[in-house]
């Protein structure tokens, strides 16, 4: 069975590192052995806003990115290691705002554990943050990416999905 995505190459992925206070995002196109960074940035809010409005902001921003850049897929971090249930719930809420925006736009959502992202980008699931950031820069052919670590993480997540998709397509063509 042909992979429906193969018709849509080059693959464009919206990578998201979700957080209630800071959500990092990156639009990455498959290119060469890595990817091309099309757009990136953050969605921020403070505790001064009602929680529902903070989540609606993440939802609206994700919807706007999907409309403007028309990615084929959304890749999101799946972070279970949290200090406490309160912060786990906050991350879950931010994740859901993104997933609902993607699913109601008809886009598939791929979830990646942090170790999977590290392994995909550096070859080792225990790689330090610094090394992940360096490999991300090499993969997208840049010397720096402006913005906080959340943005670089979003690029890494998109690259992890692109690597998986590349593998899936190669397998389907064998």
Q: Provide the binding-site residues for its own copies, judged by CB under 8 A.
A: 50-53, 55-56, 59-60, 74, 80-82, 84-86, 88-97, 99-100, 102-104, 108-109, 111
SS (H, E, C) the chain: CCCHHHHHCCCEEEEEECCCCEEEEEEEEEECCEEEEEEEEEEECCCCCCHHHHHHHHHHHHHHHHHHHCCCEEEEECCCCCCCHHHHHHHHHHHHHHHHHHHCCCCCEEEECHHHHHHHHHCCCCCCHHHHHHHHHHHHCCCCCCCCHHHHHHHHHHHHHHHHHHHHHHHHHC
Catalytic residue, candidates 3, 17, 53, 93: 17
Kindly state the smallest distance separating residue 13's Cβ from its own copies, in Å: 15
Of 3, 77, 93, 144, which residue is the catalytic one? 77
The smaller minimum CB distance to its own copies, of residues 91 and 169, is found at 91
Tell me if residue 144 is catalytic.
no
Active-site residue, 77 included: yes
Min dist CB 102 to its own copies, Å, is 6
Which residues are catalytically annotated? 17, 77, 150
């Amino acid at each position: 069975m042909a992979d429906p995505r193969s018709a849509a190459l080059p693959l464009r992925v919206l990578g998201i590192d979700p957080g209630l206070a800071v959500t990092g995002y990156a639009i990455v196109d498959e290119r060469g052995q890595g990817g091309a960074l099309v757009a990136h940035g953050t969605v921020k809010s403070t505790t001064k806003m009602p929680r529902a409005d903070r989540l609606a902001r993440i939802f609206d921003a994700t919807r706007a990115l999907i409309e403007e850049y028309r990615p084929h897929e959304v890749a999101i971090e799946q972070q279970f290691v949290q200090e406490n249930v309160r912060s786990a719930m906050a991350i879950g809420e931010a994740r859901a705002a993104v997933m609902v925006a993607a699913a109601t736009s008809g886009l598939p959502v791929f979830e990646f554990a942090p170790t999977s992202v590290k392994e995909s980008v550096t070859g080792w699931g225990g790689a330090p943050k610094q090394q992940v950031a360096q490999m991300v820069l090499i993969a997208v052919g840049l010397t720096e990416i402006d913005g906080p670590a959340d943005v670089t993480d979003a690029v890494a997540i998109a690259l992890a999905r692109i690597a998986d998709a590349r593998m899936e397509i190669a397998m389907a063509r064998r």
